[in-house]
Amino acid sequence: MPPVYRFIEIIVYSLLNFLPFLALALYPFRHSLRFSRGVTGILIGLLSVIQVMLGAWVSFVPGNHAAIASALSTALYAAFYFLAVKKHFGKTLFTLLMISNLANFAVISAKCIEGLLFPALAMQSYRWSFSMMLFAVEILLSVPIFLYMKSVF
């Protein structure tokens, strides 16, 4: 059984890779949610647990499951988003794709910075160094995007 700190690394990374972008995606539609805030919160909690379980599956089950886990995660995220938001499909799809691209950019940028600063750790997945770099990149990207969304939407 892997040590507890590895589980914590996976939990931190999974939530950092999911919750900030979900919050950004839901913010423009905060007044157009299909469910109450409580039900939406419960669904987000359930989706977060699934996200962590996918990370654990990729990390601890032998084999190369990363592509399947990524596709499954994306499908669940999109299904939740279209279920939770009741707005025009085109606007919802555009926002979802915009945030998805921002998330991909953040992950790629964080991995690149991690490779420059922590080359030995960058070869491993779900390490603290990657979570720290992802957090820094998210702060740099999310604040201007949030301010833009706040002024435009």
User: Which pair of tokens denotes residue 127?
Assistant: 């390490």
Calpha distance 149→27 (Å, rounded):
8
Q: Which residues lie closer than 8 Å to 9 by C-beta, 6 or more apart?
A: 126, 127, 128, 131
Find out whether 20 and 139 touch, Cβ atoms under 8 Å.
Answer: no
> Any idea of the CA torsion for 3, 48, 65, 129, to the nearest 10 degrees?
-50
Low-confidence ranges of the chain (pLDDT < 50): none
Given this model, what pLDDT does residue 80 score? 94
Given this model, what pLDDT does residue 115 score? 93
> CA 75, 139, 66 angle in degrees (round to 5)?
30
Find out whether 55 and 133 touch, Cβ atoms under 8 Å.
Answer: no
Q: Inter-axis angle of helices 66-84 and 37-60, to 10 degrees?
A: 180
Q: Inter-axis angle of helices 19-26 and 66-84, to 10 degrees?
A: 30
